[in-house]
Structure 1
Amino acid sequence: MSARKIALDQPESFSFSKESEKEIKFWLNKYPEAKKASAVIPMLWIAQKQEGWVSEPAMREIADRLDMPKIRVMEVATFYTMFNLEPAGEHLIQLCGTTPCWLRGAEDLKKVCAEKIGPRGQVSADGKLSWMEVECLGACANAPMVQIANKAGDHYYEDLTAETMGRIIDDLVAGKTPKPGSQTGRSCSEAEGGSMALTDGALYDGSLAKKVKLPNTSPKKEKA
């Protein structure tokens, strides 16, 4: 089992909603009865999407439904960092702090989150927001970025600044839905300035590269 631990304060019980039961049925139909334990990760994810986190009673419910030892479900939940083991806000901001985002201003985004929400891992007083730092989310070309998880899904917000991060947080508090994607308007991972910004062939054809002499190579012989 990993070093991640479940929260000290736990609810007395847990039950899946009708909407969650429909998703559970879909996943259980994918596996033979003898292999239904294979649905443990989807069921943990469904529980998290329903409540915002995975509680100990939820783990027990999943273990009973899948005929698994409870410790096995807990091992899975504590191993994968995608599962929140403590209560999270209605909108969980997952802020990438890996090198590309750090170089492009992730530290400024952390300051904004701390000022507007509170310390990482703490849920805001109104229950709407919490934030955490995560490892690379794979949008390095559009750094810095965050993923915001809520019942509507998990959406990327890219090309952020302290100002745009603050505006997104304010919109969430006000009940608005900030538009995901690049906050500068660029499409996907195109170059800053637009898709036609890199028209100079010398930028990518290698002509600007300095010639180097490789070790253990013989000079070319001149033709007679």
Structure 2
Amino acid sequence: MSSAETMSIFSPALSARFDALVLKYPVKRSALIPMMLYAQDEVGYLSDAVIEEIAQRLDLTMLDVRNVASYYSMLRFKPVGKYNVQVCTNISCMLRGAYDIFEHLEEKLGIGHKGITADGVFSLEEVECIGVCCWAPAIQVNYDFHDDLTNDKVDEVIAAYRAKAGRADAKGESANA
């Protein structure tokens, strides 16, 4: 971004991180995926404003950024819950009951694929693979893996995150933190 465009939608710390990140690569575009991940962590998803600023920072078009982002299932264009529950349904997990786990979560949370609970605490999605085939079936909640699951274990996981969300809300933290 030029000095005339010093306004950023990102925090000063993330803006500084982006400035340093661009300098690490011989080609600016190489910083695209890390930038999108960091931006998503701060904002919650890749909004049009996020995509526009990243494109400007890397001398790319918004279409360039959107095309790369659309390839990766971990990058989102819409908000998700504070805790995004991803259920792996790839072959290993599927054979060990992933669809039962997914259906159990749909019922427990009262939402379907890509849904968000009314309180904004949970979102749910079916994903192709989270890379823990040896410990199937598995889910990923934000960046945390939970494996070798049963419906009872899933209930414990959800209860722990629900309690954590309650503590965060009691402290006045944002629902998207």
TM-score, normalisation: structure 1: 0.66
Name 1:108's counterpart in structure 2.
100
2:53 equivalent to 1:61: yes
Name 2:174's counterpart in structure 1.
none
Equivalent position SS for 2:54: helix
Deviation digits for residues 115-169 of structure 1, max 9, x if unmatched? 12211111111111101111122211111001111xxxx1211111011101211
Q: Which has the higher contact order (CA 8 A, sep 6+)?
A: 2
Q: 1:49 to 1:142 in 2, by over 3 A?
A: same
Match of 1:161 among 139, 142, 150: 150
Amino acid at match of 1:89: G
Amino acid at match of 1:74: R
Equivalent position SS for 2:115: coil
Equivalent position SS for 1:174: helix
2:117 equivalent to 1:128: no
2:149 equivalent to 1:175: no
Equivalent position SS for 1:29: helix
Residues in 2 aligned to 1:60 and 1:37: alpha-carbon distance in whole angstroms: 14
Residues in 2 aligned to 1:23 and 1:147: alpha-carbon distance in whole angstroms: 26
Deviation digits for residues 159-209 of structure 1, max 9, x if unmatched? 110111012112211117xxxxxxxxxxxxxxxxxxxxxxxxxxxxxxxxx
Q: Conserved in 2, the CA contact under 8 Å of 1:100 and 1:143? A: yes
Residues in 1 aligned to 2:131 and 2:144: alpha-carbon distance in whole angstroms: 13
| Counterpart mapping for 1:63-82 below 5 A | 63-82=55-74
Instruction: Give the superposition deviation at 1:81.
Output: 1.9
Match of 2:112 among 114, 119, 127: 119
2:87 equivalent to 1:98: no
Name 1:142's counterpart in structure 2.
135
Instruction: Give the superposition deviation at 1:79.
Output: 2.0
Identity %: 36
Instruction: Give the superposition deviation at 1:112.
Output: 2.0
Residues in 2 aligned to 1:108 and 1:37: alpha-carbon distance in whole angstroms: 41
**Count of paired positions:** 157
The RMSD of aligned alpha carbons is: 1.6
Name 2:18's counterpart in structure 1.
24
Deviation digits for residues 80-134 of structure 1, max 9, x if unmatched? 2221121111111111001111111112211221112211111111111101111
Residues in 1 aligned to 2:164 and 2:50: alpha-carbon distance in whole angstroms: 28
Q: Conserved in 2, the CA contact under 8 Å of 1:23 and 1:46? A: no
Instruction: Give the superposition deviation at 1:66.
Output: 1.3
Instruction: Give the superposition deviation at 1:18.
Output: 2.8
TM-score, normalisation: structure 2: 0.82
Instruction: Give the superposition deviation at 1:49.
Output: 0.8
2:27 equivalent to 1:38: no
